[in-house]
Structure 1
């Protein structure tokens, strides 16, 4: 099939920043795109060939959107899988496949998948409702602290909370959920695995992630991870096993814990371009967004190695600020060597909302990390 400068049409469900960055690559190759998002101000709107406003969880909206595309992909997991399955049965190529997406979309199902396939993960308990957790604590089935996760619709740190006392449960929604044992880890890592439609597989270098303690969001992504080679090898092997068992197509970001004893446990996965791969735009031979396009179109996969050390700093809305966004001191960070800001195009800021990211590249990892710290301290995402 001719994908370039042709009548071929790629559909993307979700019009946020990940979709916008995918569109950088489709425009580079002149691939026609159609995007659907619930927001009229979605960042993707300015760069796609056709934009549809619609609810990603509505069966009819998703089904009707996908009927006239040749390949359909996602930039967020929270989509109507029943509609995707119907489209798949009618001949539309859907990547990741609906079977993969069904497993990943529900965190309880995802965790059961790991245990069923002998993939190392933290111990957990599944609950039909949050209200059932109190009885489990009373009966000794759960011990503090543990991590509560909503089984569905968690995203960007939402739907996750550390429970240290009974009162911490009070404001949580009464939904299907899991309670995970707190892991005594020394590093949070991630590996991006890419698999194309003909089964070719490659991995990106292991990255190290530093999280904001309150927002449960990544603050820094460091590539390569500052870990021993044996640990990196083990992390890559675990990620490849997850990929093989899920039989995904496209990108799969596998988030991992490195325990104090250097064991590797799977935290969770995302079947799409991911925050942990943003560094690749400046630092890699083939960035994650181009790689995803290559994979879902069955094209040869690109080189995944890094050209230079890369660090990504997330730009999130400052606490105490809501409204029209202002990026304070952006000119100051542009004066720093190896610094590239990416602004997502969201006009309204709120506390901890992802508004952009900054990539720092340098031949010296230590220097890159020092500049990243300076960037974090300098730029502020505030409101007017």
Structure 2
């Protein structure tokens, strides 16, 4: 592997990582399921303290998703209101307001930029002075990404089972069904190549995330930004937890019913994803007896082979590499086929159902932009639901 990094840098030793020049605009592009939500939460929570050390978080939220979706010409999640160019322009204004200070932006949806032209426009618009944007790509082993990405697609309406989904991704050319975005995001060598081709290899850093070091990514960001060690800390986020196999299968079967009955996407966004699923994730914590999504051996082995190939290609691109590239061909223990079948607990199903009912009571389906159920208190939801039930009884 030919890079300009020291051996300690390649191992991801934060003490040996040279910080980026003052005034850099660090652009973290993900991709998905590589620690993005964790680092976004930590950066947003520490934004005031970071500013005292000369580093700005220009976005007004933890994740400027709408702005980035607009920049990448992408629609939002199923049933959500499409973002507009106005969202992106507002974020650009906030970035420009940081002046000559160092700033950092993070969104996994930057990885969805469809082509060189879009990437070039993003870099140029963020780069008030040429050479200030530095692109950061975080990577994890493909075999660890696949189950998380499948259940995330299910949360956006996917109806295909996990093994069938893996078969399409890994065994059926051109490997684009049912989710073309997967390989656009997670063929990591091509992702790095696209951004390096536009921004320049010298302005791209690849960080290989070590899942055994829970705070390693925090320390790496601190080192790159010149922040004191320990300034960034993980922020608990139950709404971002992965679904168990039983929860995902319940939702997948609901998706089948939803599609078969041709219900409107707006209804799915409000009652299912932001109602039932969000309430279930916020109020139910998986226990040791809950079955996780297990990947079959053939898929783990296929992912390891692709990971090794991607690592070799990235190593020859001339980009800065932090971490052990050999981790990209690692993965979890394969599923044995002896695990208990997915069974959802009655209280979990009840909480999911309540989430949908509460969302129906609190948010009129015809209302374009309204609060989701997790943004309202339980007292509010109960009052609204009770009021609506009484009103309907009187009408009858």
TM-score above 0.5, yes or no: no
Structure number with bigger Rg: 2
Q: Which has the higher contact order (CA 8 A, sep 6+)?
A: 2
Higher helix share: 2
Higher strand share: 1
TM-score (norm. length: structure 1): 0.31
